[in-house]
Each structure stands twice: as C-alpha cells, then as structure tokens.
Amino acid sequence: MEISNYLEIKNKLPADVNLLAVSKGFESQKIKIINSQGQNHFGESRSQEALEKQLELKDSKNIKWHFIGRIQSNKIRKIVQNFDYIHSVDSYEKLLKISNVAFQEKKIIQIMLQVKLSDDLAKAGFDYEALLEKWLDLKKCKNVKINGLMTINPKGLSSKENFILFKKCRNLADSLKLPDCSMGMSGDWEQAVEAGATWIRLGSLIFGDRPC
C-alpha cells in the first residue's frame, strides 16, 4: 500500500484551518485509509459517484460529506439527503430549493456560497454585486446555515495573484460577518491559508494523481 501525504500535510496546518480531503475520482478504499488516520471530512463533486461510495462506506459513521461540485437542480434532493455541507451554492434559486428540501427532510445543511472574484468564464459563482443584492433574501432561507464563502481561483496565477484573490474573499466574508472561507486547493493552499482560509480543499496532494 502506498503511503499518503495526509499526516505530513495535516501537521503543517495551523490549528484553525480545517482540511477537507477531496476524494472525487478516488476509491472508497483510499477514503477508508485516510479516515483511519483521523480525517473525517471528505469532499465529492459528482453526486452519482459520491452516492456509490457513501453506500460502500456506510459503516464509517464519523465521515462528514461535503458537496463541492456544480449543483444540478434535479440532484438537489439527493444532495440534501446525503451531504452535511454544500460549498458550491452559486445562486439564490438553488439555495431556496436546498432550503425547501432540507425543511421537508428535517435537516439543517451547512452552506458556503460560491463567489467568483475574477473574470474566469469557466467558473461558477455569485459575482460581488449579485451577492450583495441578494444577501437579505439568502439570509432568510430556513434549514440552511450560511457559514461562509467558497472560491476557486483560475489556474496559472502567481502566488501573489492567488493571495490577492483569496484576500478579497476573506474581506468579503468579514464584511458579511461570515466566519468561514473555503479556499485553496493542492496548488495554492499556502496562499489561501495566509489570506485567512478556514477550510482548504485538497485532493491530489493527499491522495496522489487522480485516476479519473
């Protein structure tokens, strides 16, 4: 069995930074190994793949599942039923639907709102103005707890550019009195931590190269 970097990375993190192990593309067996080393929070971005793995891991009761992928409206019920956190809420309509379903399912879902802080056409997310404009309506939604903001930086930025965008996310969260920022992946997590991330989302750095 190959040795993962999990403990080495975990030990480098400040105590107030939470690690989300992004297991999309990796088998349940690998999740089990990292879970046995003390990791309880796992992130998935494709609902079908996640549901299959959750079934295989149903005896691992301490796992908290985070949905971090693009949300299709017709998958919202399954996501609400099977996840504890959703990091990728990018519109008011989706939050409202999550809220209604969570109410029916008698669950409270932990939410991060995804924000888009640069002109990256490939990425989803609220733009700054849209978020502020919808803020009061977003806050009114029941059975969802908005804990913070999530962002994904475009690829290929310098360390400094990454830091500047992450700082923008931190400042926006602070201005809305939101404690959490879910930001930083395998290639840019150090700048995210420096800018004030409270959740970093690491896949390949922990699990190795993604097979699919």
Ligand X SMILES: *Cc1c(COP(=O)(O)O)cnc(C)c1O
Interior/surface letters 82-104, b for 16+ CB within 10 angstroms, e for the rest = ebebbbbbbbbebbbbbbbbbee
CA distance 31 to 194: 28
For the bound state, the minimum distance from the C-beta of residue 44 to ligand X, rounded and expressed in Å, comes to 9
CB closer to ligand X out of 22 and 131: 22
CA distance 107 to 120: 34
CB closer to ligand X out of 138 and 185: 185
CB closer to ligand X out of 18 and 186: 186
For the bound state, the minimum distance from the C-beta of residue 32 to ligand X, rounded and expressed in Å, comes to 19
The CA-based angle 90-97-61, given to 5 degrees, is 85
For the bound state, the minimum distance from the C-beta of residue 106 to ligand X, rounded and expressed in Å, comes to 28
CB closer to ligand X out of 8 and 105: 8
- Residues of this chain that interact with ligand X (CB under 6 A) are 22, 24, 45, 68, 152, 185-187, 201-205
For the bound state, the minimum distance from the C-beta of residue 134 to ligand X, rounded and expressed in Å, comes to 22
| Diameter over CA atoms, the chain | 51
